[in-house]
Amino acid sequence: MEIFKPNDFRIIPGCTKIDFDQAKEEINRKCHKYSLTCAVDILEASVTFQQAFITIERIMQDGEVRHVHLAKYQDRIVHFVTTVRENETIRVISMRDAHRKEREIYKKNPPCFLV
């Protein structure tokens, strides 16, 4: 599996907004036991170099490009999906615990900050 280059997904400090659909929030909590705000926390913390994540896949779904990410959250490796909307807005689609193969990808390609 290819790990994507940094310019495939970006967050611009002071410019990028992060949001999610409240209806999807409730579905995600019921199905996966995670609030989508957890993914927001990961994304926001990455701007201040407190949390790193990797982007492992870019897929076309429902007419939009979605980015699949892996990160460590509360000592667990998690999988979360985002899409980029107008005006530099990142929308969180879902978040769940990573499956075994995804955890292996994360361990072989640990995230790091580019400075």
Q: Give 35-94 pLDDT, tens digit per residue.
A: 999 999 999 998 888 889 999 999 999 888 999 999 999 999 999 999 998 888 999 999
In a domain, 41, yes or no: yes
pTM of the predicted model as reported, rounded to 2 decimal places: 0.87
Structural domain that includes position 56: 20-108
Which pLDDT value is given to residue 16?
Answer: 86
* H runs (alpha helix) in 1-115: 22-32, 36-47, 100-108
Q: Please give the full DSSP string across 42-75, using - where no structure is assigned.
A: HHHHHHTTS--EEEEEEEEETTEEEEEEEEEETT
Residue 65 lies in a domain: yes
Residue 58 included in any domain: yes
Local confidence band at 115 (pLDDT 50, 70, 90 cut-offs): low
| Residue 4 within a domain | no
Which residues, in sequence order, are CB contacts of 96 under 8 Å at separation 6+? 28, 31, 32, 34, 78, 79, 80
How many CB atoms are closer than 10 A to CB 86?
5
Would 5 be classed as within a structural domain? no
Per the structure, the count of domains in the chain is 1
Q: Please report whether residue 7 resides in a domain.
A: no
Instruction: Give the CATH number of the domain where residue 81 resides.
Output: 3.10.450
